[in-house]
Structures are given as structure tokens and as C-alpha cells.
Amino acid sequence: MRIDVVSIFPEYLAALDLSLIGKARRDGLLDLRVQDLRERTTDRHHTVDDTPYGGGAGMVMKPEPWAAALSEIAEASPVPAGRKPLLIVPSPAGAVFTQRMAHELAEEPHLAFACGRYEGIDERVLEWAAERFEVRPVSLGDYVLNGGEVAVLAMVEAIGRLVPGVVGNPESLVEESHSDGLLEYPVYTKPAVWEGRAVPEVLLGGNHGKIARHRRNEQLRRTAARRPDLILALDPATLNAKDRDT
């Protein structure tokens, strides 16, 4: 998968050299390129922002450097003719990023991310970009960050780990939070008793049916307590009779 990130703080993205995503880059599974928007400016001061038309607080990102960066990315895109690469614009005004979205995006051959700062990017850039990309404003959640970089770190990690080969044992992607609409069950390791606290007895017994039932009950209880919205959103067809007793 090819991933392009455009930012005025490319150093923020250095964390993508670490851990599993860094290894996936070195192994050639993720072709991730970060570019500095300021290098696309043509004035002596490398200006990327200006005051907003209509007034108001803060500054708005100028369109010209974005057009220079994004047109080059679109031209270099590996997507087949007739298809457009995806341009994700992190924004608190976007659709909320979810595990389902991460799975969808992990299927794409090419993702580009445009990290806005200040009050955002001139809206015309998104209209212009729609001729070259499928443009999607995406939010990490209902809160405001100072810019898109932290959101890109989160999204690239969530998407990248779903690209085949990035996570060594694909089974570890199956039983995790949000994979089945529920939060994951609690986990324990040795020692069996620590600080007077014992690991649940059933996990020591080796009865796989009982262990699976116990874990499913824990998932249902934890989700009901912490995220009742997820319980309400569950497809009733995914629940079995024993789930209903929990």
C-alpha cells in the first residue's frame, strides 16, 4: 500500500518509523512518504497561511502549496486508470474514524493524508482535489486537536496493522476490541495469584468451551458498562441464547 502524508510538521510523523509500522515500511509492505508542505511554497518566507476572508480568529492554509503537493501525489498514484486514490483530510468536522473504516481503507492501494493546521485548509482545495482524489474529511473523535498529524499517526497505525503481513499472527486481529462490535475481554498472565488477586479460576482449567463462554460474558458485561451505545448498535442476529442470559 502506498501512503502519502503532507504536513508542515513532517517530524511529527517520525514515529511511523518505529515498531510494527516501521518494520512494515522496511519490509516494503507500506510505501509511506511524508512531505513538507513548506517546500511547496514559492515566496521567501515559505508562507503557508493567510487571514480568513470574512474575518474571524486564526489563519487559513493557502491553496497554492496544497495544489502543488497534491497534484504531484495524484500523478504518481499507483491506482489503476479510471479509479481515484483516496485523500483523507483529518478534521473535527469529518466522519468519525472507526474500526470498520480502518478495514475498508486497508483495502485501498493508495491513501493520501492532508494535515491541516490553524483554522483549516481553504475549502476550494478540497473541491479542486475532488477531480483527482476521492476526498474524505475524517475525524478521530468529538474533540479538537491542533492539527491533523496526531490523527494521521492514529489512522495509519490502525489501517497499516490490517494490511496483510504487517501483523505477524493474523489471529491476533480477530479477538480484539471492535472486531465483533464488542470490547475485548480482560487478559491475565503469570503469576496465577498476584498481590492477593487470583486469575479467574476458569482460565486455569483448560476447558476451551468454558473459557470461550467466560470471555464472551466478560466482553458483554464490559461493553454494557463502558459503552452501552455499542450494545444498542449490535445486530441481534449476532447474539446467541447464552448471550441473552448474561
Annotated binding site for S-adenosyl-L-methionine: which residue ranges?
116, 140-145
Q: Which stretch, 6-14, 20-28, 67-75, 141-149, contacts ligand ADE (CB under 6 A)?
A: 141-149
Q: Considering only residues 22, 52, 63, 92, which one is a binding residue for ligand ADE as defined by CB under 6 A?
A: 92
Q: Residue 110 carries which side chain, given as an amino acid letter?
A: H
Q: Considering only residues 90, 125, 158, 163, which one is a binding residue for ligand ADE as defined by CB under 6 A?
A: 90
User: Does 91 sit near ligand ADE (CB under 6 A)?
Assistant: yes
Count of residues near ligand ADE by CB under 6 A: 12
139 φ, ψ to 5°? -110, 145
Least distance (Å) from ligand ADE to the CB of residue 56? 17
Q: Which stretch, 19-27, 32-40, 42-50, 87-95, contacts ligand ADE (CB under 6 A)?
A: 87-95
Q: Give the residue ranges of the annotated binding site.
A: 116, 140-145
**Whose Cβ is closer to ligand ADE: residue 63's or residue 92's?**
92
Least distance (Å) from ligand ADE to the CB of residue 86? 15
Query: Torsion angle, CA of 84/87/92/98, rounded to 10 degrees?
Result: 70
At a CB cut-off of 8 Å and minimum separation 6, what does 106 contact? 1, 159, 160, 162, 163
**Whose Cβ is closer to ligand ADE: residue 63's or residue 137's?**
137
User: Does 7 sit near ligand ADE (CB under 6 A)?
Assistant: no
User: Does 148 sit near ligand ADE (CB under 6 A)?
Assistant: yes
Least distance (Å) from ligand ADE to the CB of residue 96? 9
32/37 Cα distance (integer angstroms): 16
Are 37 and 5 in contact by the 8 Å Cβ rule? The answer is: no
At a CB cut-off of 8 Å and minimum separation 6, what does 112 contact? 3, 4, 5, 6, 70, 73, 74, 85, 86, 87, 88, 133
50 φ, ψ to 5°? -155, 175
Give how far Cα 154 sits from Cα of 4, 164, 181, 187, Å: 15, 18, 20, 23
Question: Which secondary-structure segment (H or E) carries 34?
Answer: strand 31-36
Q: Considering only residues 45, 54, 82, 143, which one is a binding residue for ligand ADE as defined by CB under 6 A?
A: 143
* Per-residue cell: 230: 455499542
Q: Which stretch, 16-24, 42-50, 147-155, 222-230, contacts ligand ADE (CB under 6 A)?
A: 147-155
184/168 Cα distance (integer angstroms): 20
User: Does 140 sit near ligand ADE (CB under 6 A)?
Assistant: yes
Residues found near ligand ADE in the complex (CB under 6 A): 90-92, 139-141, 143-145, 147-148, 151
